[in-house]
Structure 1
């Protein structure tokens, strides 16, 4: 198979080392609520100091999975291990992990200091140690000047930091984050994502985040587990899962993508030819696939990997098809061209707006050419 693409965010890939032992392990875990199967025979290994994301739509099982790890739900079948210890029967308060909820769950009548100290006081720590830890947490999340304020006197971003400081004050081995940034506006959410990355690298503890936001998962995670109907569809680094999706579901869930259905008409090693009946043309693809000649398959290409031009490309070793500009979406940094290439087929091409647009060189109803390299797409089994 082709060598995986997309290096991880940092030089950190214990999952590639066969001798490395997982820090957290889900072994054939199933969770049922009556007749509903929320998590279905799921196995997953997460490593120490990893920032792992559980990504998926509503009802895919990601929150149920993290709640079972925290001890708030009990698996119907299977085991969950932490550092080789079976967590069966271990109550939530005895598990060395903390969970940060989407709502933050701050006490409105308590100051920032009291909110952060609450868990430490419940554990009976000496007052001097509590004071030192609270001070350290305030410095960590850069809220030293807000110690006496109450939650209603803080912004959404500041409340999020207080909740994070409270979760980290007990020095857990694992921090569980359940949609922690969902309530933040886009710009603040993006800034906080980077803060989470830096915080996790500084503390060197394992983070497990639940999110429905694919951009968030791609930004913060070392690896992503994309879930659907209680199963993990693909578990890989952000670069691998985006550039080398293992199924049509994964390809269409992560980002925008063009999918052309067809049939394998020729194959030699990793050189594949796909015939598209809709286009009435053969498409050259350089990609490893178990599919054989005659098999139905699909070619998936990201719009940013497609080129658009008024003139037919001179290169003969690329794919090029004729079409008409059907629509244009101006997004500021990029423009998305919707090009009708057949009666029932429209493809999208993304063009970076590198100059200030006064007049578009390509506009609505123009006859254009879409082109792409043979290694720009991936073959998915239909």
Structure 2
């Protein structure tokens, strides 16, 4: 029997599943306070060599503070940070085996591309032949050979971004820190650059740590994601696990689009759990065995793409089939999003998405249509809060 997994398997590399594997970067009970404000609260985290790791969260969640402590620009109030087995306490930023790429890129405007890349190498007094070899390697890696003699003002935003990346990589740090590196790029260029970053990281076999508030960016590039909120880790897992098996209502709501249905547990067994929605009194059957007790209030979280929608009305009493009325439709080209109202004005609103696989559709769903929405027993997850 084929092995099942949550979402697509990115690659065989998964050292976080090996209890004997030594972490490359480790935060041990790290707290950072700014006066009375606690930016990071007693946080512990392990990141492994060659991992592309993402710190994800909204503004003020502590992700950038965590990265700045690793880089040496901030000092922990308490706790320890280790990199490749070395306690970083007291080591200034310029002596740490890491390099940081900032959102602003911070290129030298009076220097050419190749001189920007070579700057740190010359500061380290490397032989001229080695500087030339590394600059050539970085130009090739970032596809900037033809722009080597240009200055930053003669480059596009994406090209300047690649110069900053090349300069950060040239010194061959043990870990590259990326602070919102793609925030200034337009959407299409950002998507292209995400895959370029992944390819570079794979080729160099380096450890990358990226800070971002863009969920799609984190899902695209990272081997694992740490979702942060108010200075704490909420969930650390692979992108597919974060998306398909969120451990809380916060994570489910923060990552992607989701339907959150408030419900009560009405029955439990080894085969799963039965729920009844609070607002609309429809029944839900799940194959998930929850640790919530009968009578407890929970949330049933289901992604819109896992909800099927069709014109008509349901057969009464059938679980996981819900009647609704279409009140809004968004056509996005490759896909459509349908919002349907269930019950009265205070009832649930469910979203369903589907791919537009045909150019012409006979009798399409439209506004005010009566529809039935349905989903499988394993489509959603039961969350306690």
Mapping for residues 1-382 of structure 1, pairs under 5 Å: 5-312=6-313, 319-343=320-344, 344=346, 345-357=348-360, 361-382=364-385
Note if contact 1:8-1:237 (Cα within 8 Å) is conserved in structure 2. no
Note if contact 2:269-2:289 (Cα within 8 Å) is conserved in structure 1. no
What's the offset of the Cα at 1:288? 3.2
CA RMSD of aligned residues (A): 1.5
Tell me, in whole angstroms, the C-alpha distance in 1 between the residues paired with 2:276 and 2:157: 53
Note if contact 1:270-1:289 (Cα within 8 Å) is conserved in structure 2. no
Tell me, in whole angstroms, the C-alpha distance in 2 between the residues paired with 1:313 and 1:333: 28
Tell me, in whole angstroms, the C-alpha distance in 1 between the residues paired with 2:133 and 2:318: 66
Note if contact 1:24-1:80 (Cα within 8 Å) is conserved in structure 2. yes
- Map Cα deviations across residues 39-89 of structure 1 (whole Å, 9 max, x no partner): 111110000000000001111110000000000000001000112211101
Tell me, in whole angstroms, the C-alpha distance in 2 between the residues paired with 1:309 and 1:283: 18
What's the offset of the Cα at 1:276? 1.2
What's the offset of the Cα at 1:120? 0.6
Tell me, in whole angstroms, the C-alpha distance in 1 between the residues paired with 2:10 and 2:185: 24
What's the offset of the Cα at 1:11? 1.2
User: Which consecutive unaligned segments of at least 5 residues does structure 2 have?
Assistant: none
- Map Cα deviations across residues 304-356 of structure 1 (whole Å, 9 max, x no partner): 00000113468997510111001101111111111000222211000111111
Note if contact 2:121-2:170 (Cα within 8 Å) is conserved in structure 1. yes
Cα distance change on mapping 1:231 and 1:8 into 2, 3 Å: farther
- Map Cα deviations across residues 15-48 of structure 1 (whole Å, 9 max, x no partner): 0001101000001111111111111111100000
- The DSSP-based 3-state class of the residue aligned with 2:126 is coil
Normalised to the residue count of structure 1, the TM-score between the two structures is 0.97
- The DSSP-based 3-state class of the residue aligned with 2:137 is helix
| Count of residues in correspondence between the two structures | 380
Note if contact 2:27-2:80 (Cα within 8 Å) is conserved in structure 1. yes
Tell me, in whole angstroms, the C-alpha distance in 2 between the residues paired with 1:21 and 1:192: 31
- Map Cα deviations across residues 170-199 of structure 1 (whole Å, 9 max, x no partner): 001100000000000000000000000010
Tell me, in whole angstroms, the C-alpha distance in 2 between the residues paired with 1:250 and 1:138: 39
Question: Which stretch shifts more, 306-315 or 291-300?
Answer: 306-315
Note if contact 1:167-1:175 (Cα within 8 Å) is conserved in structure 2. yes
What's the offset of the Cα at 1:357? 4.1
Tell me, in whole angstroms, the C-alpha distance in 2 between the residues paired with 1:121 and 1:360: 68
- The DSSP-based 3-state class of the residue aligned with 1:342 is coil
What's the offset of the Cα at 1:374? 1.1
Note if contact 2:55-2:63 (Cα within 8 Å) is conserved in structure 1. yes
